[in-house]
Each structure stands twice: as structure tokens, then as C-alpha cells.
Amino acid sequence: MGQKTDFVFDAVGVGIGPFNLSVAALAEPLIGLRTRFFDRKKEFRWHPGLLFPEATIQVSFLKDLVTLVDPKNSYSFLSFLSEHKRLYRFIIANFPRVTRIEFEQYFQWVCGSLPNLEFGCGVEAISYDGKTLIVEPSQQRLRARNVILGTGLSPIIPECAQPYIGPTVFHACDYLSHDLAVKGKRVAVIGGGQTGAEVVYHLLSDDQSSPHQLFWVSRRPNFLPLDESPFANELFTPSYSDYFFQLLPEQRVTFLAEQKFLSDGISGELLEKIYRRMYELDFLQGGGGLRSLHPGRELIAMSRDADGWTLTLRDRLSGQVESLNVNIVILCTGLEFKMPDFLYPLAGRISLEGNNFKVRQDFSIEWDGPDSIKIYAQNAARHSRGIADPNLSLMAWRSATIINSLMGKCVYDIDESSTVFDWHTRHSHAKMEAL
């Protein structure tokens, strides 16, 4: 759908994942806010390469696109259940967690209900002409006062694996798209977080097509659980995000390292399922030689061999080196922020902290343009907002913060004062200790 170049949008969103979809859903009822969101994909998909039937979201279903800032919004997860006549069944089923498949269905339902989304249309460049931002989707040239970036994170590929990416060496984000034939093969899973655990469980679960050997390698000293205790979850609140934002950069770095397993551990239910499956294989099905666990090791080199790959691992405690010979390597090595290519026309004008955007309190990034023209960034502020930034927990709150900034007034109430910790007092103490 083309637009006249003299028409100015209040905001154009680039990328339609859950975060920008949240902004679109909260923006839709607001009269006078002119928005449009673009995505290169032909339809909404939520990490399709990892959409295992048994995979669940790690947060409450109330942390959906809108509920925590607008419980009456018609794009809530409960509205989705009601619309599809499954609300009573959902309650009776008493799921401990919602499956990612059902949450993707919810996201797709919202996409089908919103008029301000355009799929199959990637943005090629964003520039500034002295008056407005110029956004260039496929065969279009639009003007916008503001842009909201929601393009997601990029796979982290270990340097030693980069020359070999292909059908038998790949990042886990593409796992299900490979249609792997692992029966009788030797498979290495590199990474001990939630994704690595989900891939391991999937490989162990199929009695008919299981690998001959499965090696699970992790830099971590053990396969460690996600901390989901109540006081840990206080760090996934707006109050803590604001507190973290006020800390000094060196304090943030320290806190992020200390809090790693509050957001990057493995869910307890999945660890139990994996352990029980290994028990079944060892004692009930006679498949004890199927798997081999290698915590505390890091992948330092790899090379081709006759029928696959030789992996060189180093014990992080002793420094001892060992080798694995495998046919398939699945890299569950995480994701990272990278500046999108379409921002290169503005790259020299954007302020960075290391490799990250310098993000303001309203989630706009610092650049040398006028204050009235803003570029907002979704999922790009972990370094300045804390471990909750990539998580669904603060999705609706962050979207409402962005919308309030766009509108220049408090459209959504984002004041969350209910917390067991006095973060304001702690911030004052942190500042005094740093002096």
C-alpha cells in the first residue's frame, strides 16, 4: 500500500515481533495517533525454529501485549481465549504454563485484528531530511516524526564455527527448519541455557529417531535453573527497571553478571523432564550410552573430519583440552544486539555505549537530531534497563512508556509503586557509595 510523501506518520514501526505488536495494539484505540508497522516476513511468526509442541512461555499469561497497563484492552490474551470459545476449557485445564504455540496463536489473532500492520514489506533505509525521518519500505517512501525499532536480536555464532555454518552446523533459532535426520548420528548441542535444554529434550524424546549419541556442552559449571522466586521476580518490575536505569555504568555491569540466572537459567520443570528422561533411558530402556554431559567446557576450535566435525573443548576450571567427533552441531549460543543495516544512513549521528545504543528513559535513543524527532528501540536496552529488557514481563509497560512519549502526555498510567523494595532509597545509597 503506497503513501503520499507529504503525509506524515506520528510513528512508523520497523519489525513486527511481540514488542512492536504490543505498541501497535496499545496505539490502535488512540484517536489521532497515526502509525504504521512493517515487517519483511510474510506473516507473524514467533521463533518458529524453536516452536516445539511442549515449549512454554516462562512468564504469566497476564504479561501479554496489553493487560498490565490496560486490562480492559480488547487485545488481551483473555480476550483471545474468549473470542475462540476456549476460556472455560483453559481454566479447567489448569496449565502450569501457557505453551508458546498458544501464545503465537494469540499474537497472530491480534495481527489479524489490527489495521496498521503490513507484512511482506521490509524497510531498506531510514534517513533524515532536516524535517522528518524518511522511511523506505519496499517501493515506498514515507515520512514519520518518530520511528520504533523492533527488529529483534541476531544469533551469536562462535568464531570457530562461523566458516562452517550450513546444513549440519547451525544456530538453534533455525532448528525446526532443518528437518534433521538425527537417527544413528552423533549430535552436539552447544549451550546450557533454556534453548539448549529444549533442544536436548526434543532430541531425547523420540524413541524412533533418536541420535546414536548426544553431547550436551555448556560453559556453565552445571545445568542451572532459572530463579523464579518472588523476590527475584521483583527485578522484572517497572520500579526496578527505573532503579537500574539510574545506576552508574559500572554498577549495571556488575548487577547484570550477578543476575544472569534470574533470566537465563533453565526452567525447573524442563530440568526435571530431562532428568527423568535420562533415568528412563538408563534404567528402563537400556539406552544409557545415548548421552554425555559436558558442563564447564567451552568450544575453542572445530574442524572437518571424515564424516562430520571434530570439536575441541577446554575445561574452564582445569584448562584440560578434549575432543568430540560428531556429525551435527547445534549452536544454542544466544542472541545479541546489532545495529540494523537500514539505520546506516544515520549511523554516524547515533550515540553508542560500546556496541549498544545510548537509551533515554523513554526508550528513545540519543542522536544528534532535534528532540522532537525520536527513534525508539525495543529490546536494545538490557545494558541500561536490566535483565527484564528482552523478556515479555515489561513488554506492555515499555510500549505504554513509548506511547506516552509519542503523545507528549500520560495516555496510559505506567506508575507502578507496588513493590516490596524501596528502590528509590537504594538508588540514593548507590550514588553515595560511588562518590
Q: Would you state the pLDDT for residue 5?
A: 59
Tell which residue, 423, 385, 425, 383, has the closest CA to residue 401: 385
Which residues is 133 bridged to in the sheet?
128, 144
Q: Would you state the pLDDT for residue 288?
A: 61
The CA distance from 111 to 127, in Å, is 27
Q: Are 22 and 65 in contact (CB under 8 A)?
A: yes
Q: Which amino acid is at 100?
A: R
Q: Would you state the pLDDT for residue 430?
A: 52
Domains, the chain, in order of start with CATH, read: 8-153+337-431 (3.50.50.60), 156-226+264-331 (3.50.50.60)
Tell which residue, 167, 159, 211, has the closest CA to residue 186: 211
Tell which residue, 288, 304, 270, has the closest CA to residue 210: 288
The CA distance from 435 to 158, in Å, is 39
DSSP 97-143: S-BHHHHHHHHHHHHHH-SSEEES--EEEEEE-SSSEEEEETT--EE
Q: Would you state the pLDDT for residue 424?
A: 67
Block means of pLDDT (10 residues each) for the chain, length 435 residues?
A: 71 98 97 96 96 93 97 97 98 95 98 97 96 94 97 95 97 93 94 96 88 95 93 93 95 93 90 94 78 95 95 97 97 94 95 93 97 96 95 97 97 83 64 47
Q: Would you state the pLDDT for residue 435?
A: 45
Which residues is 303 bridged to in the sheet?
310
C-alpha cell at 374: 525520536
Q: Are 7 and 35 in contact (CB under 8 A)?
A: no
